[in-house]
Chains A and B, each alone.
Chain A
Amino acid sequence: MRLHSKVKWGARTLAGALLAGLFLLPLYWIMTASLRPAGLPPARTVEWLPPSPTLANYPAIFEMLPMARYLRNSLIVVAAAVPVTAVIASWAGFALAQFPDRPRRRWLGLSVATLMIPGASVWIFRFQILRWLGLIDSLGALIVPAFAAGSPLFVLLFYWTFRRVPPGLYEAARLDGASAFTTWWQVARPLARPTTIAVIVLSFVLYWSDFISPVLYLYRPALYTLPIGLQILKQLDPTGWPLLMAAATIMTLPVIGLFILLQRTFLGDNSLAELLDRN
């Protein structure tokens, strides 16, 4: 029996390791391909490490394109949109957790329903609304989704967290004469730290990666963000793979860095499941 169980776990671990390796391959290839000297003829066999790896492709793309400006625009968008998203989602989750049963169910149902609204169905009229707000052809067009909390998912994450706080805690704060805002800031917010961090990372990914909004709503090249920079680089040099992969690495590294810092919150042994625990 014990031997049987050991073999079973061994096989499981091996299968897990192989699959994990398969899913790490894309990332591995982005990075190693970016180190290949740009002028070299392409390899004709699978190449696990480029010959004479170099970092020269990185400064090269900053000379070919105003990458520094794209990077700055992307950072402005993220710096503005992520905090707004976190606060608005946290407030909404906090409110929902304290609503009486019936209105709460209704609002939650609506939030889940908006999760199902496809992006394409809002493109056309959002263009119109942004025009009325004077935000077409400005970075504001990329920041404004933060006021809808980025995604209803973030609101649901906060709601699941705040629901687990014993209601007595809020009650006690209120009896001490704390305003609703003070209760949120001093009682609820500190308890939701892991959720706040998760929402910060996920919303960073959302705004940092956003390709569609700049395509639809920006025209001036001075406002372009990194994803558009990648697209321009591809048009400029469609087969310059080392350069393209260097640009892709610049876009990907910040996201991966944040993710590694926070993967425990998502995928650790007591992760999201704890939030979703129905008690």
Chain B
Amino acid sequence: MTPLRARSGLFAPVLLLAGMVTPAAAQDGLKIDFLKDRPFYEPLLAEPRPARTMLLIPAWSKEFPDSVNKGARFAWQISLGDELPILTLSNDHSGGALGSKGKWGLGLWVPLSFHVIEDFKDESNPIVDTDYRFGFMTKFQCHCFETMKLGARFVPWAHESTHLGDEYTIFAQQQNPDFERINVSHEDWEYGISLEGGELFKDGDMWKLRHGGKQPWNSGGYYSNHLLGSEEPDLTPSRKNFEPSFGVEYRFAPRRPASRQFYLSADLRHQLIYNYHQTPENPEEKQWSINVQVGTAVQEDTRGTPLKQLFFQISRGVNPYGQLRSQRDFWSAGLGFVFGL
């Protein structure tokens, strides 16, 4: 399926439902809420860059392309963010998760987040990179089957801005005369589809299957074609821009009614390895990147418990940070904590 076909096909049910929401229908049987969150299509726990607040500490990673000291290092990662709810519509009036067959929900959120990695091995513990993301997100979920829910997520527009740390940049310039500061910044669209259910093996367990994809709107790809401070188009634009993803998650049945659930969650995506100077002999390549989490999480629709997840995470593939996405076979691992309200 081409990205364009996938995009238009997935948007169809959202448009169809939007068409159903006439003022008369709204008065008749739809619950409409402004600025109230509802759990339609929650991010997969192992999704690498959702808008949520996460610490990975203690954590280690492979050295970065221009690290001064070589070898693996202690490097913690911080993500701060949330999916800010704007508007939700649903024919389920319970105010929580969709409760029975035939119920559906649709909404608009603003995902906003930033992601930082700090290196504790090089001098002065440099912030290596900070990435900022925000956009608009529509999410739809239908309790279409007795024990399964079908969902779709579409981000029509999101912006990502990435910033290499100043200390990392200074050290890189000192030791590498060929070092270039690339402006990785783009607008993109993204889609996702989800099938999830429960009672696969035991009362109270849950499973999820996910597929998604993203691509920049810019014809120039993921980064500028010139270096910062220059107008010369010295860089070759990215071309193999579409990045598909696949995810799977299983939550074991809780041992007590309100206790946390043990889970396994994995996200696999075919990511572009940025190549700023492509030639026929040195073309762009892609790599499958995997992120796996094993841990415990509060049950879905839990409110008032700040610590949402406690887990061990290991990831391998393309470096996820800014211009360092030119690095293949990057790895990181650590203990993670997710917080929320």
Chain A bound to chain B: no
Point out residues on B near A: beta carbons under 8 Å: none
